[in-house]
Amino acid sequence: MHSPLSSFTIPLILLVQSYGVSAASWGYGYNDGPQTWKGDCQTGLRQTPIDIRTMDTDYALMDRVNFIGYDQVDEVTMQNNGHTVATAGFTEWKNPPYVSGGALQGKYFLQQFHLHWGKKDHEGSEHKIGGLSYPAELHLVHLKEGLTITEAMNKSDGLAVVGVFLNIAESGEPLAAMADKLDDVIYAGNETDIDRFRPRSLLPSVTDAFYRYEGSLTTPGCSEAVQWIVLAEPITITRKQLDQLRKIRNMEGEEHEKNFRPTFPLNGRRIRFRPAQYDRLRFCSSSYSLSFFITVLSTLLAKIIF
């Protein structure tokens, strides 16, 4: 297959090396954790993750997100980079997967995906919903068509990241292909190939409902170059698969206590929400139009009154 260098050039830049930040210079511990990260990580005003709360959210008329080429099956490479487990190789497929729609301007090609988790079930996801966390969160990282990674880092819409929450359940189908290989990447620097991988398996059955906001990477240097799409519907992970994730080792050879960043204030940003039931044809119907008009009017009145 492809060489590890070509597969992971972009993922490594995105995850462990932004503008001179080396893999070994940061982590999630007391001495090297998020509280010590420099630059935009400390001073940026559009940082990620955030706590998605009703009071900060507006209903928005956005198209669905189109996941093009996500049903393909091909080979990818999974690597433990010392901070997470990242899977890449999609850019070398004959028809690389990409996303469009969802208020994105253009096509964004899938570069890699990775996971965040914690040691306890009540924490692990980077984003929160009303102050509550899921036990893990998956990020699908996309690069805007026509841009280099350096160019993308300097644009507010250079990257599009799709966040997917993971909830503990009996079904482990979404992560099955990946879970079968997790034991091969326990230690930092380990990597392995997955012969047959279908990106669509990482998405919930319903992707119509999602949250949209402008934010940043959640790792150094926290570049504010990301259009975030956080899917409202989670996928499932089994207790066994979650235990496998929790055995992954960091740069020091220790199991991660956590590898998620704390949430940040919105600083004036608003979160847009597309409900699953929104449909242009239904919106044209009188009953749906009236219902939606009442919802919008109520939101506006609440803002004026309070």
Which among 28, 24, 82 has a CA at the least distance from the CA of 262?
28
Q: Residue 142 is encoded by which pair of tokens?
A: 């996309």
Instruction: Name the token pair of 20.
Output: 């001179």
The strand pair at 108-117 and 226-231 is best described as unpaired
Residue 24 has a pLDDT of: 62
Cβ–Cβ under 8 Å, residues 46 and 224: yes
Q: Which of 126, 137, 191, 224 is catalytic?
A: 126
Specify the pLDDT at position 298.
56
Is there a catalytic annotation at residue 122?
no
The residues facing 138 across adjacent strands are: 115, 164
Active site annotation includes 256 = no
How far apart CA 110 and CA 305 sit, in angstroms, is: 44
Residues 218, 219, 224, 256: which is the catalytic one? 218
Dist CA 231 CA 266 (whole Å) = 19
Candidate list 48, 114, 207, 224, residue with the active-site label:
114
SS3 label, residue 8 = helix
Termini Cα distance of the chain: 59
Give per-10-residue mean pLDDT for the chain (306 aa): 41 41 78 96 98 96 96 98 98 98 98 98 97 98 97 97 98 96 97 98 97 98 97 98 97 95 98 81 47 53 56
CA 186, 188, 192, 197 torsion-angle sign: positive
Q: Which of 87, 116, 127, 224 is an active site residue?
A: 116
Does 224 participate in catalysis according to the annotation? Answer: no
Centre a 10 Å sphere on the Cβ of residue 87 and count the other Cβ atoms it contains. Answer: 27
24-50 pLDDT, tens per residue? 689 999 999 999 999 999 999 999 999
Q: Give SS3 for 272.
A: strand
Segment holding 295, helix H or strand E = helix 286-305
pLDDT value of position 303 = 53
**CA R_g for the chain:** 19
Instruction: Please tell me whether residue 274 adopts helix, strand or coil conformation.
Output: strand
> Of all helices (H) and strands (E), which one includes residue 136?
strand 136-144
State yes or no: is 91 an active-site residue: no
What is the C-alpha separation between 110 and 213, in angstroms, rounded?
19
Q: Which of 48, 77, 83, 207 is catalytic?
A: 83
> Strand 74-80 to strand 191-197: parallel, antiparallel, or no bridges (unpaired)?
antiparallel
Active site residue 126: yes
In this prediction, residue 6 carries a pLDDT of: 41
Verdict on whether the full-model pTM lies above 0.85? yes
How far is Cα 166 from Cα 172, in angstroms, rounded to an integer?
10
- Burial class of residue 235 in the structure, from the number of CB atoms within 10 Å of its CB (0-12 exposed, 13-18 middle, 19+ buried): buried
Can you read off the two tokens belonging to residue 57?
A: 């959210």
Which of 139, 142, 191, 219 is an active site residue?
Answer: 139
